[in-house]
Amino acid sequence: MIPRLEMRQGQSLVMTPQLQQAIKLLQLSNVELQEFVEGELERNPLLEREEGSAEAKKTDDGGDAQALEFESGMAPAEAALDVSVADMAPDLSTCELAEAGAAPLTDWSKAGSGKSFDEMPGIEETLASDKTLAEHLDAQLTEAGLSPVERMIGGVLIDAVDDWGYMRADLLEIAGRIGAPYPLVLRVLETMQGFEPTGVMARDIPECLALQLKERGRFDPAMEKLLANLDLLAKGHAERLQTICGVDREDLADMIAEVRALTPKPGAGFGGGVVQSVAPDVYIKQAPDGTWLVELNSDTMPRVLMNQRYYATVSKTAKREEDKLFLTECAQNASWLVKSLDQRAKTILKVSREIVRQQDGFFANGVAHLRPLNLKTVAAAIEMHESTVSRVTSNKYLSCARGVFELKYFFTASINASDGGENHSAEAVRHQIKGLIDTEAEADILSDDRIVEILREKGIDIARRTVAKYRESLRIPSSVERKRKLASGI
């Protein structure tokens, strides 16, 4: 072996920061994209919103409202009549008139007298927010008369309560983490299980239902055994439950009715975190000639521009090398972000159009006409890589006359046709299975084998275990359990 120099020419893909940013933008949802662009607008002085975009209009509207408030001397809400909340509640006759299309009637006699600016309530007094379960429990903990140490333990337990009101953490783990004796932690939990709403702070469903039954004075040994065997109740084993609980059929029916009247989610009625509604990225509409129109939702597509005039002005005044380097970097980032956003929008539109072309039967006739589709087919049709299509379809939604669907919904597995014809979509087959079971007669409960026979008569070659898997994914019990439930009336 001897040292020597060689020259070679080759091609390689280099993941530059700009390329990594473009890939990142491609897989972001519209909400995450808005947050990312807002951050870039704050960091980069050369970026600005494009005039006419939805974000710019919101900013302009806000500015107009602030200007109006400044000129008039009072906020729009303060300029309105002082009407109490009770007075503003419409009665039945008003609602009926509104539904009939008549002009609403205003009772001016209930309008309060005018107030000065200083007498008007502050904005924090007029804002309404749902009280969270944690706030509700914390208020009761403060008034429970516990010691400071017990209140501290109670605060840790409240942090472990989920939105349904269940205490999901392990008590031993909590005791070890905060350095408190386990019996003390258990005693605090038992005290807090007496808080409102009844059943809160329970560790599982049987304990939650037991707390509610104890409050009603209906927790006896037979009911305790019923709660310990809720799995048998779900499967409809009425005779076994009668034997375990030591009651007859009539008493068991009464007990089951009492259990069903309870609340398995005691914390569900309280306000939680802000729920972000799904905003579709693409709209699908049918044209008069029967074709499908695919258009992007402009409200979810942030549009930014690089301020070339500002860049030219500042570049002339920059003297230090650090300032020039900073401006050059900002200009490059701004230019790349504008191009990346434009490319992202074009890619989403291209993938959506191909999905609509492949699944036109779904948009015209429903889920039963979904075709088998995978990423490779779409990628080959639009001449892109499968990974790009996968990123585009993640966290992106499509809105059509049948509802809002994630783009990944239209990619389904393929099930062979028994007659050698076109393959069937797994989602369409699952839909057919649900339809067969929903329309089955009480005297003729369909078994999985019978469903296989019916589907094969329709040209769908499917195995029994596949039918069972699809049925379980739909949360439909087996034919034996369905028969038992009909027989027992549970």
Q: What does each C-alpha distance from 389 to 279, 401, 414 come to in angstroms?
A: 20, 24, 19
Residues 370 and 324 in one domain: yes
Q: Decide which of 231, 260, 289 is a domain's last residue.
A: 260
206 contacts 223 by C-beta, under 8 angstroms: no
Phi, psi of 54 (to 5 degrees): -65, -40
Residues 457 and 471 in one domain: yes
CA atoms within 13 A on the CB side of 474: 22
Q: What number of other Cβ atoms are within 10 A of residue 460's Cβ? A: 20
Residues 420 and 388 in one domain: no
Angle between helix 479-488 and helix 238-245 axes, rounded to 10 deg: 60
| Side chain identity, residue 120 | M
Residues 158 and 231 in one domain: yes
Q: Decide which of 260, 290, 310 is a domain's last residue.
A: 260
Residues 298 and 418 in one domain: no
Q: What does each C-alpha distance from 218 to 112, 228, 259, 445, 489 come to in angstroms?
A: 51, 15, 10, 37, 23
More confident call, 374 vs 368 = 374
- Residue 105 falls inside a structural domain: no
Mean pLDDT confidence for 30-44: 90
Residues 406 and 419 in one domain: no
pLDDT at 349 (0 to 100):
94
Asked if omega into 197 is within 30° of 0 (cis), the reply is yes
272: confidence class by pLDDT, cuts 50, 70, 90: low
- Residue 1 falls inside a structural domain: no
- Residue 443 falls inside a structural domain: yes
Could you give the CA distance from residue 140 to residue 151 in angstroms, rounded to a whole number? 11
Report the candidate in 21, 19, 123 with the shortest Cα–Cα distance to residue 69.
123
- Residue 265 falls inside a structural domain: no
Mean pLDDT confidence for 205-228: 90
pLDDT at 83 (0 to 100):
31
Residues 386 and 474 in one domain: no
How is residue 371 annotated by DSSP?
P
CA–CA–CA angle 78, 81, 82 (5° rounding): 85
More confident call, 401 vs 318 = 401
- Tens-digit pLDDT profile for residues 123-133: 444 444 567 88
What are the strands, taking DSSP E only, across 194-337? 282-286, 292-296, 304-306
- Residue 126 falls inside a structural domain: no
Angle between helix 171-178 and helix 148-159 axes, rounded to 10 deg: 130
- Residue 206 falls inside a structural domain: yes
| Side chain identity, residue 55 | E
Which residues have C-beta within 8 Å of that of residue 441, sequence separation ≥ 6? none
Residues 298 and 347 in one domain: yes
Q: Decide which of 366, 387, 412 is a domain's last residue.
A: 412
Domain range for 463: 414-488
Q: Which two tokens stand for residue 474?
A: 């739909």
CA atoms within 13 A on the CB side of 338: 16
Residues 183 and 223 in one domain: yes
Q: What Rg value do the Cα atoms of the chain yield, rounded?
A: 32
- Residue 122 falls inside a structural domain: no
CATH of residue 472's domain is 1.10.10.60
pLDDT at 104 (0 to 100):
40
- Residue 357 falls inside a structural domain: yes
Residues 393 and 425 in one domain: no
Residues 290 and 370 in one domain: yes
92: confidence class by pLDDT, cuts 50, 70, 90: very low
120: pLDDT strictly greater than 70: no
- Tens-digit pLDDT profile for residues 436-472: 998 888 888 899 999 999 998 888 888 889 899 988 8
Phi, psi of 370 (to 5 degrees): -65, 140
Domain count, the chain: 3
345: confidence class by pLDDT, cuts 50, 70, 90: very high
Is the backbone of residue 423 left (phi > 0), alpha (psi -120 to 50) or beta? beta
Residues 298 and 403 in one domain: yes
